[in-house]
Structure 1
Amino acid sequence: MATIEPTTRRTVLPGAPPFTVDDLLKFPDDGNRYELINGSLVVSPAPTPLHQRVIFRLQRILDDAAPPELEALSTVNVRHSDKDFYIPDLVVVPEALSESVGLMFAPGNLLLAVEVVSPSTKTHDRATKTAAYAAAGIPVYWRVEPDEGLTLHIYELDGDVYQEPTAYKAGTTVSLSSPYPVSFDPADLIGSRTATP
């Protein structure tokens, strides 16, 4: 019986560092998420099922609470400059704008950006993206930490930096007013769908 040796696939990316958004648009569709921070390439694998669960449930909560003129969208393109390009897990934007924006939003279009932290994105979501989103002027940033028993960290812009975040753990009701009034228990983002209160 023949033995098949595993092969290593390489993705050849066009362009050279520092990369630009134009370079990024030429990248292959290989299942990875490609982002740019000051021309440096950030590559993330496809999200885990837990990550997807948190994103989906939070999007439903945000969508149910949204006023008619706003909507929550997942994994949209956000271009801050020629060398800064992000793909937040969730955003809240004006609904009319989302119908006409095309391929990329500008940071000024976002009322909220959300990142769900995973093992491969911890450093970027906790530090790099926090600073980048503040510099881009995104007024509110939520960081969801599933590995902390699910904790929601809320950052609000103060000038060109975020204030120290407020943390909400699973098992407590979070009542927020920005980008619009919404209340939920962070535990709802990870618990079983069949669990009864």
Structure 2
Amino acid sequence: MDEGETPDTGRVTTMATTEPTTRRTVLHGEPPFTVDDLLTFPDDGNRYELFNGSLLVSPSPIPLHQRAIARLMRILEDAAPPEYEPMQEVNLRVSDRDFFIPDLVVVPTETVEETELMFAPRDLLLAVEIVSPSTRARDRHLKRAAYAAAGIPVYWRIELSDGPSIHVHELAGDEYKPAERHDAGEAANLSVPFEVSFDPAVLVRPRA
């Protein structure tokens, strides 16, 4: 268990959550929501996800979060072989009542042109979430369990407030193994889904 985390009981619970917003949004449908319901939601700047029909709502990422995504995207683009493609904020449909938007993923290049709107879990080689204060429990526990249950081989959790640090979870059966942690100040030498090496500190540094 990583420092500062709560014990993992193996059970995942959630409630419909709404982040603060300056505008009032009227959503169609009622809980439990389905992916088809999400398609009717307005484009109001929020990110809507589903876990077992419960609505998970997040505002647009803060600037530091966006910087980290952009830095990591460039690192993975430079390292990825032609048959793999990193992408930001794709639609991931797990079931009729489970839908996520990972911060970043790696998929086989051939699936990009074949996918019109939503990727399936089998398409993802890697899912990445960058933790913010409002999504801490969700990213550490709920999404870790959901991505493992969906069979996504590797999950990276990036803690911006911790250096930053990268916590690498690799699938073993239907659960992720304990995270391999990589702290800022030293190279994280990673081999899955392809070889890449970088210091987590570069994710939050200003441009040179």
Output the TM-score relative to the length of structure 1: 0.93
Partner of 1:130: 144
Match of 2:166, SS state, is strand
The answer to whether the aligner puts 1:73 opposite 2:87 as a matched pair is yes
Match of 1:92 among 106, 119, 123: 106
Distance 1:117 1:168 in 2: 15
In the alignment, is residue 110 of structure 1 matched against residue 124 of structure 2? yes
Deviations, residues 56-104 of structure 1 (Å, cap 9, x unaligned): 1001101100010111000000000000000000000011111120100
Could you tell me the percent identity over the aligned residues?
65
5+ residue gaps, structure 1, are 1-7
Partner of 2:51: 37
**AA in 2 matched with 1:29:** D
How far off is 1:9 after superposition? 3.3
Please name the residue that 1:163 is paired with: 177
Task: Give distance in 1, aligned partners of 2:131 and 2:65.
Answer: 8
Q: Deviations over 1:146-168 (max 9, x none)?
A: 00110000000000000000111
Residue 50, structure 1, aligned to residue 64, structure 2: yes
Letter of the structure 2 residue corresponding to residue 44 of structure 1: S
| Aligned-partner Cα distance in 1 for 2:23–2:170 | 42
Q: Return the alpha-carbon distance in structure 1 between the equivalents of residues 179 and 113 of structure 2.
A: 32
Q: What is the aligned partner in structure 2 of residue 4 from structure 1?
A: none
Say which SS state the counterpart of residue 33 (structure 2) adopts. Answer: coil
Supply the distance in 2 between the matched residues of 1:106 and 1:56 (Cα, whole angstroms).
Answer: 24
Partner residue of 1:177?
Answer: 191
Letter in 2 for 1:115: E
User: Which AA in structure 2 matches 1:169?
Assistant: D
Match of 1:25 in 2: 39
What is the number of residues matched between the two proteins? 187
- What is the rounded CA distance, in whole Å, between the counterparts of 1:183 and 1:149 in structure 2? 17
Supply the distance in 1 between the matched residues of 2:134 and 2:70 (Cα, whole angstroms).
19
Alpha-carbon separation, structure 2, partners of 1:143 and 1:68: 25
What letter matches 2:36 in structure 1?
Answer: D
SS at 1:47's partner residue? coil
Cα offset for 1:122? 0.7
1:112, distance to aligned residue in structure 2 (A): 0.1
Q: Which runs of 5+ in 2 are unaligned?
A: 1-21
Runs of 4+ with deviation above 3 angstroms: none
Q: Report how far residue 32 of structure 1 moved.
A: 0.1
C-alpha separation between the residues in 1 aligned to 2:70 and 2:121? 22
SS at 1:27's partner residue? Answer: coil
Q: Cα offset for 1:120?
A: 1.3
Instruction: Give the greater-gyration-radius structure (CA).
Output: 1
